[in-house]
Chain A
Amino acid sequence: MKKLHIEPYLQTPEVDFDPESGELKITGKSYPADAIEFYQPVIDWCNEYAKQAAKETKLICEIEYLNSASQKQLVELLMAFKPLHDQGKSFVVKWKYEEGDDDILSVGELVEHELGLPFDYEEVTF
């Protein structure tokens, strides 16, 4: 399986997914008007990856701005990893949020609660 790399643009994040190491990173701003257009190929990649995942998978989300449409797409993306977790394979979401940004933190907490996936939180400075 090939790596997935998408360069960041004005309203979309950098995506850097390495299937061999299992380290999958989404970094930056995410507020495109058409979030489905951006996230669908990423979700498709994740669905494929979940069938042949690395020994350990770490999804690192370090997002500075997040619109509602992107939040819904992130939920779809995370659902791709639910079978991994349910099968007892190692999977964790590393949710990094800007210092004091309770809104982004609470998105992570809500998704963790709704999907039942393990999240680690880290406050960072952008």
Chain B
Amino acid sequence: MSAVLQIQKKKELFDLPFKQNELEFWGPIDTSFSNSFLAVAKDFIGRSSLGKVDQKKVFTALIELIQNISEYYEIAFKNESCPADSYLNLKYQDDRIEVTTANKLKIEDVAQLTKLFDEIFNLSHSDLDIARAKAIVKGKSLGLIMIRRMKNAYFNYSIQQIGKDNWLLFDLRIAA
């Protein structure tokens, strides 16, 4: 039995609320957790009605997003006594999948990341190709550039201040 089905069976058994088409997590995300989540998510995405190539697209994008979060978490919050929570949500409906991620940012990183993301998200399609060629040989942000280049996809980001904390949110929707 697949990992997702096993979890859903358990939730049913204990009468816990669940949505069959949604996978959600709230908590600290380090490398070890991201590896585990990816294993479950691969199985989950495989249950959507998207074709195999589109499923691969979603999963590849998810790898980039979650590995970025875990890497940032381990660098920025390594020495924090209170672990920084992050949020992951995958949802499929009809012929599309939505991925939402949110993770806390250090205040000192906000300006630099805003500048970086503004640059990437303002690139035209042809500029994206140039940026990708630079990034694959010697550069950064290849993962985000890869997602931005995906066809039939909506991908956006925002940095929001909620209470005292700053959050980075990504929103990805891929349709068949």
A residues with CB within 8 A of B: 10-11, 31, 33-34, 64-69, 71-72, 75, 98, 100-103, 107, 110-111, 113-114
Contacts and interface: CB of A to CB of B under 8 A. Distances in A.
Contacts of A65: 56, 59-60, 63
Chain B, interface size: which category?
A: 20 to 34
B3 interface: no
A45 B107 CA distance: 43
B159 interface: no
A31 B35 CA distance: 10
A98 B53 contact: yes
A100 B53 contact: yes
Nearest to A100: B53
B146 interface: yes
A10 B39 contact: yes
Contacts of B34: 33
B133 interface: yes
B22 interface: no
Contacts of B135: 68
B57 A72 contact: no
A102 B149 CA distance: 11
B64 interface: yes
A67 B136 contact: no
A11, A101, A103, A114 — most chain B CB neighbours (10 Å): A103
Given A68-B142, A110-B132, A33 B70 contact: yes
18 contacts: A10-B35, A31-B60, A31-B67, A33-B31, A33-B34, A33-B70, A67-B67, A68-B64, A68-B142, A68-B146, A71-B136, A71-B142, A100-B52, A103-B56, A103-B60, A110-B132, A114-B133, A114-B137
A64 to B, nearest CB: 8
